[in-house]
Amino acid sequence: MLGAAAALLALGALVPGLAACASMDKDRIERELLALAKNAPVAAHGLERLTIEVTLEGEPHTVEAVFYRAPRPEARPEGPRPTVVLVHGTPSSLFTWTEVVFGGEGHRGLAESCDVVALDVIGHGVTRTKAPPYSFQRCADYVAGAIEALDLTDVCLVGQSYGGEFVWRAALDHPERISRVVLMDSAGYPRRDDEWLPEEVKMREWWVARWGYLFNSRERILSALQPHFQKPVSADRRDEIYLVCSNADSWRAMVDLARDENGTRSGELTQLKQPTLLVWGALDIAYKPERFAVLFERDIPDSELVLIEGSGHYPQEEQPAAVVEALERFLGLRE
């Protein structure tokens, strides 16, 4: 994803001067993300912004929370409905959940049965606030702070990939608001040297990796993304990741988190008290289910594993109908 080592090293001395002009601003990224055909339901629904006070690794911050609620509060049906908060991974944004929330060809969306909040994580997507250095704990603290600021209770908290680790850390630290947990192809355990993907090795080890956005291109994004999908990646999906990787702060968040991934708190997973659903792409090459899903199932006391056939690392994008079904069953909305 970061391009050839020789090119990066040759241009390394020019990085400070290039950085300011090469980073795509978040306003443009938001416009272009909302213009993608796959995100038409989000564009029609609209995003919300809220300035909130959060404590990130012990330090107070004023940050911008970007999210959407579906259905909108004023349009919610009467009667009790589960509250579900969706947390994306890295590099990604709240737009990864579009089909899960709003439905697609031949399947309904989760918003028909649940009150859903899709949240952009600090340092990602279209969130403007900068709060480096980015770490798993800071992102987990942000997720918990956003739930508190929105005054959500009895939350089913769902996280995919790195978002999974944000979620289980938040659930450990703030169990009073989080009643159920869903981990989807989640990070959390230490990886062996041979389990890192090539682009992850570059981000973790190359000193110029923080400026990789200077070499961002649709072609490089596609080459890094396609191995995680079973069918050809669509132009919209490729462009979505290209856009979120075109901002300097978002790129830094990706690199910071890649370097922070170390399984530090994995020993605490045995203390997770919430009922937990593990949703895993059966063909995931990033966190192979036979290695990582079984560890989560072993260590989390009240957990169950659902494998999503025909899916790699992104079940919410490859098999959204199966993900909606798994979530609704977990919430007691289907038999």
- Is 236 inside any structural domain? yes
pLDDT per residue as tens digits for the range 315-334: 999 999 999 999 999 999 98
| pLDDT value at residue 14 | 40
Total domains, the chain: 1
- Is 335 inside any structural domain? no
CATH of the domain at 173: 3.40.50.1820
166 token code pair: 């944000």
| pLDDT value at residue 290 | 98
- Is 155 inside any structural domain? yes
| pLDDT value at residue 74 | 87
| pLDDT value at residue 75 | 85
- Is 220 inside any structural domain? yes
Please state, in angstroms and rounded to a whole number, the distance separating the CA atoms of residues 35 and 29: 10
Please state, in angstroms and rounded to a whole number, the distance separating the CA atoms of residues 164 and 141: 13
Q: Which domain holds residue 50?
A: 5-330
In a 13 Å sphere around the CA of 51, the CA atoms on its Cβ side amount to 2
| pLDDT value at residue 2 | 37
Please state, in angstroms and rounded to a whole number, the distance separating the CA atoms of residues 295 and 185: 12
Q: Is the pTM of this model over 0.85?
A: yes
pLDDT per residue as tens digits for the range 294-304: 999 999 999 99
| pLDDT value at residue 167 | 98
pLDDT along the chain (335 residues), means of 10: 36 42 91 98 98 96 97 88 98 97 95 98 96 97 98 98 98 98 98 95 94 94 96 97 97 97 97 98 98 98 97 98 98 91
Closest CA to 180 of 95, 86, 291: 86
Say if CB 144 and CB 163 are below 8 A apart.
Answer: no
Question: Please, what is the Cα angle at 71 between 333 and 109, to 5 degrees?
Answer: 50
| pLDDT value at residue 238 | 98
DSSP labels, 262-314: S-TTGGGGGG--S-EEEEEETT-SSS-IIIIIHHHHHHSSSEEEEEETT--S-
| pLDDT value at residue 16 | 44
Parallel/antiparallel/unpaired status of strands 83-87 and 115-119: parallel
Say if CB 278 and CB 306 are below 8 A apart.
Answer: yes
| pLDDT value at residue 141 | 98
